Amino acid sequence: MTVPLDRVRVAAHTSWRGGAASPGQRTIPEETAIAFSYNRFAYAVMMGSPSDLEDFAIGFSLTEGIASCRDDIQDIEIVPVEAGIELRMWLNEPRMAAFAKRRRYVAGPSGCGLCGLESLTQAMRPPTHVTSDFRVAADELAAAIRSLTGLQPLNSQTHAVHAAAFWQPDRGIVAVREDVGRHNALDKLTGALARSAVPASYGAILLTSRVSVEMIQKASVLGAPVVVAISAPTALALRIAEEAGITLVAIARDDGFEVFTHGDRITYECSAHVA
Same-domain pairing of 263 and 146? yes
Q: Which residue has the higher pLDDT, 106 or 177?
A: 177
Same-domain pairing of 63 and 185? no
Same-domain pairing of 213 and 172? yes
Same-domain pairing of 144 and 81? no
Q: What does the pLDDT read at residue 74?
A: 97
Lowest mean pLDDT among 7-11, 143-147, 158-162, 247-251: 7-11
Same-domain pairing of 255 and 229? yes
**Cα–Cα distance measured from residue 130 to residue 210, given in angstroms and rounded to the nearest whole number:** 21
In a domain, 38, yes or no: yes
Q: Tell me how many domains the chain contains.
A: 2
Long-range pairs for 172-178: beta carbons < 8 A, 24 or more residues apart: 172/144, 172/147, 172/275, 173/144, 173/147, 173/148, 173/206, 174/198, 174/203, 176/148, 176/151, 176/152, 177/52, 177/55, 178/49, 178/51, 178/152, 178/153, 178/154
Burial class of residue 254 in the structure, from the number of CB atoms within 10 Å of its CB (0-12 exposed, 13-18 middle, 19+ buried): exposed
Residues that are catalytic: 112
In a domain, 11, yes or no: no
CATH of the domain at 148: 3.40.140.10
The answer to whether the predicted template modeling score (pTM) of the entire model surpasses 0.85 is yes
Same-domain pairing of 179 and 221? yes
Among the three residues 102, 123, 144, which one is the final residue of a domain in this structure?
Answer: 123
In a domain, 101, yes or no: yes
Q: Which residue has the higher pLDDT, 272 or 187?
A: 187
Among the three residues 59, 89, 123, which one is the final residue of a domain in this structure?
Answer: 123
Same-domain pairing of 105 and 171? no
CATH of the domain at 56: 3.10.20.10
Q: Sorting pLDDT into bands at 50, 70 and 90, what band is 49?
A: very high
Among the three residues 73, 99, 123, which one is the final residue of a domain in this structure?
Answer: 123
Same-domain pairing of 145 and 196? yes
In a domain, 274, yes or no: no
* Cβ(145)–Cβ(208) below 8 Å: no
**Cα–Cα distance measured from residue 88 to residue 40, given in angstroms and rounded to the nearest whole number:** 7
In a domain, 10, yes or no: no
Same-domain pairing of 238 and 152? yes
Percent of the chain with pLDDT over 70: 88
3-state secondary structure the chain: CCCCCCCEEEEEEEEEECCEEEEEEEEEECCEEEEEEECCEEEEEEEECCCCHHHHHHHHHHHCCCCCCHHHEEEEEEEEECCEEEEEEEECHHHHHHHHHHCCCEEECCCCCCCCCCCHHHHCCCCCCCCCCCCEEHHHHHHHHHHHHHHCHHHHHHCCCEEEEEEECCCEEEEEEEECCHHHHHHHHHHHHHHHCCCCCCCEEEECCCECHHHHHHHHHHCCCEEEECCCECHHHHHHHHHHCCEEEEEEECCEEEECCCHHHEECCCCCCCC
The whole-chain average pLDDT of the chain stands at: 89
Same-domain pairing of 215 and 93? no
Same-domain pairing of 115 and 80? yes
In a domain, 233, yes or no: yes
Q: What does the pLDDT read at residue 99?
A: 86
Q: What does the pLDDT read at residue 169?
A: 95
In a domain, 12, yes or no: no
What range defines the domain where residue 177 resides?
136-267
Residue-wise pLDDT for 86-124, tens only, equals 999 999 999 998 888 766 444 444 445 444 444 455 566
Same-domain pairing of 117 and 153? no
